[in-house]
Amino acid sequence: MSGFADSSAVMPATMHVIDSHTEGEPTRVIIDGWPLPAGDTMALRRQALAENADHLRRAVVCEPRGHAAMVGALLTPPVRSASTAGIIFFNSRTYLGMCGHGLIGVVQTLVHLGRLGEGRWQFDTPAGTVSVDLDDAGEITMENVPARCHELDVELAVPGIGAVRGDVAYGGNWFFLAHSHRAPLELGAAAELTREARAIESALTAQGIRGADGEPIDHIEFSGSPTRSDADARNFVLCSSGDYDRSPCGTGTSATMAVLHARGSLPIGAVWRQESITGGVFSGWLDSGPDGELLPHIRARAFITAEATLVFADDDPFRTGFGE
């Protein structure tokens, strides 16, 4: 099944959205105004968006209404009876399997709307069903889809940089975790780090290095020493949008923990605190699933930043946005 449940409403006049940030990384949740994509699974619904309504993605998160760091989240009815809702995540360039900071932003948005309270809640995503726990202190703990280390010590020849070694891992999206980087892990070096990470991403594509089942690796992560005494490491993540993550990246932290566990340096249950290039921190740990799979947990806070109505005037030349 593909297409839209209501194909006559593919370009609404307005959309109601709520913006938040999770440790600095923005999420824009579409509350209403977007026609429901058809499909019996979240993967099919994501495919329907990509094939039939990509102009809506651009209109919501690309300029002039959004920007390269913006992540959108479309709420849909759930596909599992025990779930609260379905979520499709997207950015200024593509669609995501999962998004850790985005899920936490969605949950904070639903709390803001009075739709969620303390307890455990489930959400369906294209990558699988995830759950969150809400406590009375406002912290949100996410249980992500299973993470795994796919391959260690992959050698990569990067034009202009030279030999780069890294690990390939999955945490809801596919990551190349580079062992080294030239630029310092400082916010002032974000442009230089971005260029370096983009060169690695291009080399991965050119040399045919992929994740399982040929999935493209579209997230690059650098890691180093933290600047905070309460963190274990600091990271820089280039997202599939082509921009960097302002948060420590939930799927990236999940992938990192899977690699650390594979190397024997992160036991099940041990807390790993990941600092972002902007100084925010995610607390994470791994549990063992019923079949031995690694279940990452990420704890963080999100904050509402805006509630707005996006307007798409018929005569607006940038009605559907511009950029990718």
Annotated active-site residue 249? The verdict is yes
**Catalytic annotation, pick one of 62, 149, 239, 249:** 249
**Catalytic annotation, pick one of 62, 99, 149, 239:** 99
Annotated active-site residue 239? The verdict is no
Instruction: Give the residues across from 237 on adjacent strands.
Output: 221
> Could you tell me which of 135, 71, 136 has the C-alpha nearest to residue 98?
71
Question: What is the gyration radius of the CA atoms in the chain, in angstroms?
Answer: 19
Cα distance between residue 176 and residue 58, in whole Å: 27
Indicate the DSSP class of residue 236. Answer: E
* 42 Ramachandran zone, left/alpha/beta (phi>0; psi -120 to 50): alpha
Contacts of 196 (CB under 8 A, 6+ apart): 161, 181, 182, 183, 222
CA distances from 261 to 47, 148, 235, 304 (A): 33, 9, 18, 34
Cα distance between residue 151 and residue 135, in whole Å: 36
Any idea which residues carry the catalytic annotation?
99, 249
